[in-house]
Amino acid sequence: MISRWEKWLAAERAAQRGGVDLHDGIVRDVPFNLVLPIPFDVSGDTFKASLANAPDADSPLVDMDVDPGSFVDGITEVTCSLTKEQVNNLPEDGDFDGLEEVLFDLLHTPVGGTQERILALSIPISGKVTPGD
């Protein structure tokens, strides 16, 4: 998928904060979880993640639930998630190509530290063919 936000993503790649599109995107009518292995103990830190239509959008489409897990074997798994209902409230496929593109970023605030963006991605949303439960 070629992103319409390629310049923004290129800047994020240059800053070593991802800047790619997430090929395993969001599927309509299915809860979404993105598990990120962080190679540091960030289990006590604060995280915030959102999806938006564009960089600097007036407001995000949705704020994600972010759960830093325990620090085990040199890794803290940080899980960013959306419920099925949140997924279903995301924008529909406006140009009928089967995908809608949203942007994601993850902000990290270490205990006693300053907030910084540590990851930025483009995430496709795809519609389903088979009805869900």
Residue 29 near residue 84 (C-beta atoms within 8 A): yes
Written as six digits, the tokens of 31 are 């809860």
**Which residues of the chain, if any, have pLDDT below 70?**
1-2, 132-133
The residue whose two tokens read 């959306």 is: 82
pLDDT number for residue 12: 93
* pLDDT at residue number 128: 77
Q: Tell me, what's the pLDDT at 89?
A: 95
pLDDT tens for residues 36-65?
999 999 999 999 999 999 999 999 999 999
pLDDT on residue 1: 59
pTM for the whole structure: 0.88
**Residue 80 · residue 49 · CB < 8 Å:** yes
Per-position DSSP letters for 24-41, written without gaps between them: S-EETTS-EEEEEEESS-
Q: CB of 102 within 8 A of CB of 58?
A: no
